[in-house]
Amino acid sequence: MRMIITPVPTSSHEEIYHVEDSATGLLGYIAVHSTRLGPAAGGLRMRPYDTQQEALTDVKRLSQGMTYKNAAADLPLGGGKAVIIGDPVQDKTPELLHAFGRAIDTLQGRYYTAEDMGMTPADMAHLAEATPYVAGLSDGEFASGDPSPITARGIFNAIRTAQKHHTGSAELDGVTVAVQGLGNVGWHLCDLLTTAGASLVVTDTDAARISKAKAVFGAEAVEPNQIYSVQADIFAPCAIGGILNAETIPQLKVAIVAGGANNQLASPQDGLALHARGILYAPDFVANGGGIINVATEILKVSDRPAFVSEKLVALDQTMQAILTQAQAEDTCPDAVAVATVQSKMASCAA
């Protein structure tokens, strides 16, 4: 059977495609939420989703989040995302990535992909053998490489900004941060936090990462389901989305939530629930915008990448400051302010 790319009916997105290739075992989705500000850009995630519906729901939420993220970072890019259903350790092959690259190529530049959960710069190189619409490469004139360190830097900035907004000081010396997820972004964030003097409580599903974090960072470790009830100053979710919900929010014993995971709120109502509890939430699509800023240098062919990234990170932090200040003045959830901010920006651009 040849590759089958099937449009998925949608009223919320510009385009969604179901991708299947029996020869390689490929099964996944590509979602283009918006190209209002430019070509859609967003990473490719590979996870062993339990069902195709779960994968479809994830790619829709993630692609919408990319629209907001790119707008918040003031990038001339729209929002898109792609997911592959499968275990990245056991199921990923060069042939499978080539097949997915061919699927991306059929969109003719309306969607650019990059590294995300379950993917590496080496995987991006395999994709690039089948399509030019790939960023996050390690080689080439405009190669941006692994976006994880820049993503972590942006999150670290957001944590400091939230800490200053809450306490009057951005210093993290002596502050306890509960970090959920020790993937590439979470690991780099832990390094920045410990360098700044913070103490860490960490969790991950990978026992080897936990052991390494205890040795390298002197971190305390807890089981994954215990991270929500840890007594800490700050909770930094850096794994999957939807983890701030009616079950977990009542367990939180922190003053601030600021992390790198996409779509941390299970619903907009959960942002209001955090606010009702007096917990300051740094909107995720602003906090974790560093990675796409880094990747954008490749897509936009920016010649002075360090200067571009530095300037955009400063501007992104100023956006976070403005959102938190406005939310405080209006006594409302920062997430609602952040969404209104990017929607207004997109509306003015369309006009």
- CB within 8 Å of 270: residues ≥ 6 apart: 244, 245, 246, 249
Q: How remote is the C-alpha of 283 from its chain's centroid?
A: 11
Is 69 one of the annotated active-site residues of the chain?
no
Residues in the chain: 351
Q: 183 near 210, Cβ under 8 Å?
A: no
Rounded CA gap, 68 and 235, in Å? 22
d(CA 21, CA 19): 7
Active-site residue, from 60, 81, 92, 312: 81
The bridge status of strand 26-34 relative to strand 15-21 is antiparallel
Nearest residue to 62 (alpha-carbon basis) of 79, 39, 46, 84: 79
Residues 6+ apart with CB under 8 A from 9: none
Output b/e per residue, 130-161; b: 16+ Cβ within 10 A.
Answer: bbebbbbbeeeeebbbbbbbbbbbbbbbbbbb
Catalytic residues: 81
